[in-house]
Amino acid sequence: MIVSVDGGCPGVKNVAEGIIGATSMQFPLLMASMGIDAIAEYVENGTKPEPSPGLDFFNTGVELVTDDPVDGIPSISSEEGMAKCWG
């Protein structure tokens, strides 16, 4: 099985067409807005972002896109992915 990373629209389309089995989708605009929010909070009151629980970074989220889901691994379909993809 071939997979890709970063879930742009071409990768999601490739999942829908059966060219690849899955792609992991990140959300650049959400990342950017969360970054701006963190900057604003730091300027306002000096609070710095904390890492997500159990991680050494702040997790901005990712979704697995596949039309062949596996039990126990959360995922969305390529149709759902096309509604959320970028680029």
pTM of the model: 0.76
Measure the CA–CA gap between 5 and 25, rounded to whole angstroms: 7
pLDDT at 1 over 90: no
- More confident site: 68 or 30: 68
Whether 22 and 2 share a structural domain: yes
Work out the number of other CB atoms within 10 angstroms of the CB of residue 81: 25
Helices (H), the chain: 9-16, 28-45, 78-84
Flag whether pLDDT at 50 surpasses 80: yes
pLDDT, position 26: 87
Instruction: Examine the domain organization and report whether 32 and 53 are in the same domain.
Output: yes
Q: CB–CB of 69/75 below 8 Å? A: yes
Region 31-44: what's the mean pLDDT? 94
Report how far residue 65's alpha carbon sits from residue 49's, in angstroms, rounded to the nearest whole number.
Answer: 28
Percent of the chain with pLDDT over 90: 71
Can you give the residue range of the structural domain that contains 17? 1-26+62-87
Question: What total number of domains does the chain contain?
Answer: 2
Q: Which two tokens stand for residue 4?
A: 């890709």
Quote the pLDDT of residue 87: 72
